[in-house]
């Protein structure tokens, strides 16, 4: 952990610099770009019934959008206001009234006709609800009845048959911590969180490579670093205010490089609304793009390292930071031998990048004195996600880009609360403060005063799959308690997911809104509990940003939803009902008590106990983790890890498909049109030459299909690496295979090979091969 403290926000240059403009034509007239003013007015209109409260949330609360992190309208990176349309879109979740009774208690089939966007717009869940098999409507029940039913069911099953999940919609550290403690208190380690499907490999890889589980640096390190690399990350879309930091970086001479199969328009040029010259003329963001194959990153990085080792042979000291490696890293020889055995032809084929282009990138990094690597789902959501990230760490270690100013490795997060979820212990592989290992179990048992179950808990995907195990299996999922989350829209193979959700005896959805998963039947009962938002949470709460800033968000005065409760209070009550004789061991009456306990349970969070007012913030770990190159590993050194090329299973003539985000906040869709390329949600981004080879015209109906499913869309020509296509997430999840998890971190595989055909020929073929599907219900057993 570092000694140096973050110095707080710095000033942005306000004099214009035409060198970075996209075009001298004002407001990007004629170009496809987001319409910030129009979108802001739309939000004002949407919130017009609750404007003063909306204003207070924006000016006093900590943003519940992405994890860039902002308290009120100010952050820790730059002076000046910080606001974006993602935050404004999410705002309505906080200000809208409850769902009208006649809609909430309408026929379930009527509700099921709605998609998650329609359901979200209905309003907030007002009071506890229940629905049993055969009942076609939600029934109102009391809190007592709801919690007693849940507690009694939990008491009747083996704790291994119980699983908890917490998403990241505005959830606070206090809630994650209490949930993690509750799960262990009632005997289960099956507790997981939303980072399982986003950055779990980042944590696993950084831990094994350099001993940390979070960003090693700050956003301020972007500003003035020699090279800033976005790898599989469209920060301009998913963390919009980051473009302001990118603008500041460009003004300091930083080179920005993007590595991604698609040349993302948002990373090419952006009109930053709060910076006058950028708002008018746009800012060229990326200096260069490396359009790598989906899954080709390991090969690309091996190629870069191969160049470095060759450069070193010719001219020692020209490519690597020998001092840093000698003082702070293990495994150079092993890595060198591994890399030297790599075959250029294979590296080029796998990565899709030529040897010459790899040399350009290798030379750029070798000549840079500082560098920051930022990445997202393009690197993590693979069955080799952990290896991808360890490769990034290899590059950073070889260049000595760790533990000092303008250097670092940063898994940039997309959900405001998610960084804290694992750190608070809402994760099957960790307890607060450290891993789920003997030493930490022993330590936490002393702090908590009760025995922690010793068996390994399951990740959420496996817990859900356990619902279809035989009835008498010890891990058959019988109670699934989820705070938020929509598994039908975030996990591969939605049909199978539905079957899993239906096979659970009792499902509890603790949430602020309904989504399509809430409406799925359960074997015995679906119970819905109305949760409070972070701004309603009694006594306020904290959340941790990507750069490890722990922000306090106060309780904000305003209208309240009928019976919604603070989520940590619900967990405390449930604990008392399941284990009344030990309820004093999990008994919080105020958020302050939880924060005081967190400070002891996770020593990195020492300081959280002092947060109590609007604007209070501290950064755990100091400005740089691994400061001075000292890593919190066993021997204090980073580990260079040789990584094998993954086997990419793409038969000739097929494509790799990946997913991308449009105007959405995680799985919540805010527009059918992508503001950066005007694509709609069913457009398939395909290289024009690939399309023409298949006789596919622009805008023509096409079918993307494989053994898992069929996606009907429209071809949209795009500047993407040939052989790689993109579909929007989560619509494209029907193409993904269930049960394929990355072996170290458990993230599902979100990329797969597919065939692409004109709809016309696909349907004609299907007609000739049409075989009537068996309908078991219509089949009569011969008597």
Q: How far is the CB of 87 from ligand SF4 (least distance, A)?
A: 4
Q: How far is the CB of 238 from ligand SF4 (least distance, A)?
A: 8
Nearer to ligand SF4, 237 or 733 (CB): 237
Q: State how far the Cα of 209 lies from the Cα of 398, in Å rounded to an integer.
A: 12
Binders of ligand SF4 among residues 36 to 95 (CB under 6 A) are 63, 65-66, 68-70, 82-84, 86-87
Q: State how far the Cα of 54 lies from the Cα of 48, in Å rounded to an integer.
A: 9
Which region among 190-198, 234-242, 258-266, 322-330 touches ligand SF4 (by CB under 6 A)? 234-242
Instruction: Give the CA distances from residue 78 to residues 5, 10, 75, 271, 648, in Å, rounded to whole numbers and listed in that order.
Output: 16, 5, 7, 18, 42
List, in order, residues 6 or more apart from 149 with CB less than 8 Å away: 130, 506, 525, 527
- Identify whether the C-beta of residue 165 lies closer than 8 Å to the C-beta of residue 483: yes
Q: How far is the CB of 64 from ligand SF4 (least distance, A)?
A: 8
Q: How far is the CB of 587 from ligand SF4 (least distance, A)?
A: 33
Indicate whether 417 belongs to the interface with ligand SF4 (CB under 6 A): no
Nearer to ligand SF4, 220 or 239 (CB): 239
Nearer to ligand SF4, 342 or 664 (CB): 664
Phi-psi region of 314 (alpha: psi -120 to 50; beta: other; left: phi over 0): alpha
Which region among 207-215, 239-247, 679-687, 748-756 touches ligand SF4 (by CB under 6 A)? 239-247
- Identify whether the C-beta of residue 698 lies closer than 8 Å to the C-beta of residue 684: no
- Identify whether the C-beta of residue 440 lies closer than 8 Å to the C-beta of residue 431: yes
Q: State how far the Cα of 583 lies from the Cα of 572, in Å rounded to an integer.
A: 8
Q: Which two tokens stand for residue 20?
A: 């970075």
Buried b / exposed e over 273-301, threshold 16 CB at 10 Å, is bbbebbbebbbbbbeebbbbbbbbbbbbb
- Identify whether the C-beta of residue 484 lies closer than 8 Å to the C-beta of residue 171: yes
Q: How far is the CB of 117 from ligand SF4 (least distance, A)?
A: 18
Which residue has the CB atom at the shortest distance from ligand SF4?
Answer: 65
DSSP 408: E
- Write each residue from 359 to 398 as x if it is in contact with ligand SF4 (CB under 6 A), else as -, in one continuous string: ----------------------------------------
Nearer to ligand SF4, 273 or 485 (CB): 273
- Report the run of H or E that residue 284 belongs to, with start and end: strand 283-284
Q: How far is the CB of 65 from ligand SF4 (least distance, A)?
A: 3
Q: How far is the CB of 81 from ligand SF4 (least distance, A)?
A: 10
Nearer to ligand SF4, 69 or 232 (CB): 69
Nearer to ligand SF4, 476 or 661 (CB): 661
Nearer to ligand SF4, 83 or 702 (CB): 83
Q: How far is the CB of 256 from ligand SF4 (least distance, A)?
A: 17
Q: How far is the CB of 635 from ligand SF4 (least distance, A)?
A: 37
Contacts with ligand SF4: how many residues (CB under 6 A)?
A: 14
Q: How far is the CB of 206 from ligand SF4 (least distance, A)?
A: 22
Nearer to ligand SF4, 241 or 734 (CB): 241
Q: State how far the Cα of 689 lies from the Cα of 672, in Å rounded to an integer.
A: 26
Kindly tell me the burial class for residue 114, based on how many C-beta atoms sit within 10 Å of its own C-beta (0-12, 13-18, 19 or more). middle
Chosen residue from 218, 239, 566, 720 binding ligand SF4 by CB under 6 A: 239
- Identify whether the C-beta of residue 420 lies closer than 8 Å to the C-beta of residue 598: no
DSSP 733: G
Q: State how far the Cα of 177 lies from the Cα of 422, in Å rounded to an integer.
A: 9
Nearer to ligand SF4, 374 or 736 (CB): 374
Q: Which of 492, 375, 519, 460 is nearest to 729 (CA)?
A: 492
Backbone angles phi, psi at 546, to 5 degrees: -55, -40
Strands 525-530 and 129-131: antiparallel
- Cis omega (within 30 of 0) for bond into 701: no
Chosen residue from 98, 168, 183, 241 binding ligand SF4 by CB under 6 A: 241
Q: State how far the Cα of 563 lies from the Cα of 512, in Å rounded to an integer.
A: 11
Q: Helix, strand or coil for residue 242?
A: helix
Nearer to ligand SF4, 120 or 131 (CB): 120
Nearer to ligand SF4, 82 or 153 (CB): 82
- Identify whether the C-beta of residue 410 lies closer than 8 Å to the C-beta of residue 402: no
Nearer to ligand SF4, 63 or 234 (CB): 63
Q: Which residues bind ligand SF4 (CB under 6 A)?
A: 63, 65-66, 68-70, 82-84, 86-87, 239-241
């Amino acid at each position: 952990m570092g000694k140096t403290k973050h110095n707080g926000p710095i000033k942005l240059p306000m004099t214009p610099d035409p060198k970075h403009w996209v075009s001298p034509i004002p407001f990007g007239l004629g170009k496809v770009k987001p319409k910030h003013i129009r979108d802001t007015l739309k939000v004002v209109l949407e919130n017009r019934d609750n404007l003063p409260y909306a204003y207070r949330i924006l000016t006093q609360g900590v943003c519940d959008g992405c994890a860039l992190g902002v308290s009120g309208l100010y952050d820790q990176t730059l002076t000046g206001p910080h606001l974006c349309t993602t935050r404004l879109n999410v705002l309505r979740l906080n200000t809208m009234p409850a769902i009208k009774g006649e809609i909430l208690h309408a026929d379930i089939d009527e509700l099921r006709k709605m998609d998650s966007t329609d359901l979200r717009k209905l309003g907030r869940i007002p009071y506890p609800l229940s629905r049993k098999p055969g009942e076609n409507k939600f029934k109102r029940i009391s809190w007592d009845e709801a919690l007693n039913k849940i507690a009694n069911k939990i008491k009747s099953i083996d704790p291994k048959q119980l699983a908890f999940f917490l998403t990241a919609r505005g959830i606070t550290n206090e809630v994650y911590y209490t949930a993690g403690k509750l799960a262990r208190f009632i005997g289960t380690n099956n507790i997981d969180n939303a980072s399982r499907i986003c950055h779990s490999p980042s944590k696993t890889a950084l831990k094994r490579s350099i001993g940390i589980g979070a960003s090693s640096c700050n956003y301020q390190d972007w500003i003035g670093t020699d090279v800033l690399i976005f790898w599989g990350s469209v920060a301009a879309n998913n963390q919009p205010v980051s473009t302001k930091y990118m603008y500041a970086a460009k003004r300091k001479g930083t080179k920005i490089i993007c590595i991604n199969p698609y040349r993302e328009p948002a990373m090419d040029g952006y009109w930053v609304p709060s910076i006058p010259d950028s708002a008018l003329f746009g800012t060229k963001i990326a200096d260069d793009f490396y359009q790598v194959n989906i899954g080709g990153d390991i090969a690309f990085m091996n190629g870069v390292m191969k160049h470095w080792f060759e450069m070193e042979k010719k001219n020692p000291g020209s490519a690597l930071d020998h001092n840093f490696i000698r003082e702070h890293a293990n495994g150079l020889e092993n890595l060198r031998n591994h890399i030297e055995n790599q075959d250029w032809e294979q590296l080029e084929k796998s990565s899709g990048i030529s040897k010459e282009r790899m040399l350009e990138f290798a030379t750029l990094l070798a000549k840079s004195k500082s560098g920051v690597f930022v990445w997202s789902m393009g690197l993590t959501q693979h069955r080799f996600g952990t290896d991808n990230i360890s490769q990034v760490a290899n590059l950073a270690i070889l260049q000595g880009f760790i533990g000092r100013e303008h250097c670092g490795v940063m898994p940039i997060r997309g959900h405001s609360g998610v960084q804290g979820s694992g750190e608070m212990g809402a994760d099957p592989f960790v307890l607060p403060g450290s891993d789920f290992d003997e030493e930490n179990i022993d330590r936490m048992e002393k702090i908590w005063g009760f025995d922690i179950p010793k068996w390994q808990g399951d990740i959420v995907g496996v817990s859900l799959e356990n619902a279809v195990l035989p009835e008498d299996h010890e891990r058959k999922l019988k109670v699934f308690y989820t705070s938020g989350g929509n598994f039908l829209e975030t996990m591969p193979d939605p049909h199978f997911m539905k079957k899993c959700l239906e096979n659970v005896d009792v499902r509890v959805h603790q949430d602020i809104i309904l989504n399509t998963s809430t409406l799925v039947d359960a074997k015995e009962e679906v119970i819905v509990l109305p949760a409070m938002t972070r701004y309603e949470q009694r006594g306020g709460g904290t959340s941790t940003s990507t750069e490890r800033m722990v922000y306090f968000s106060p309780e904000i005065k305003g209208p309240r939803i009928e019976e919604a409760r603070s989520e940590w209070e619900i967990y405390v009550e449930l604990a008392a009902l399941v284990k009344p004789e030990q309820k004093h061991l999990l008994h919080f009456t105020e958020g302050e008590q939880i924060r005081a306990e967190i400070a002891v349970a996770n020593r990195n969070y020492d300081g959280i106990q002092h947060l109590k007012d609007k604007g209070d913030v501290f950064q755990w770990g100091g400005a740089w983790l691994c400061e001075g190159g000292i890593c919190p590993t066993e021997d204090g050194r980073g580990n260079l890890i040789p990584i094998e090329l993954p086997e990419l299973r793409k038969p000739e003539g097929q494509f790799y498909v990946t997913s991308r985000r449009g105007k959405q906040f995680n799985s919540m869709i805010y527009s059918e049109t992508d503001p950066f390329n005007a694509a709609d949600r069913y457009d398939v981004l395909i290289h024009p030459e690939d399309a023409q080879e298949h006789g596919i015209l622009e805008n023509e109906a096409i079918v993307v299909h494989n053994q898992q499913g069929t996606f009907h869309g429209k071809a949209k020509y795009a500047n993407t690496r040939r052989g790689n296509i993109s579909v929007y997430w989560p619509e494209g999840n029907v193409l993904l295979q269930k049960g394929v998890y990355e072996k170290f971190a458990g993230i599902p595989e979100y990329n797969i090979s597919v065939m692409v055909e004109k709809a016309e020929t696909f349907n004609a073929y299907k007609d000739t091969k049409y075989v009537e599907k068996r309908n078991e219900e219509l089949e009569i057993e011969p008597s």
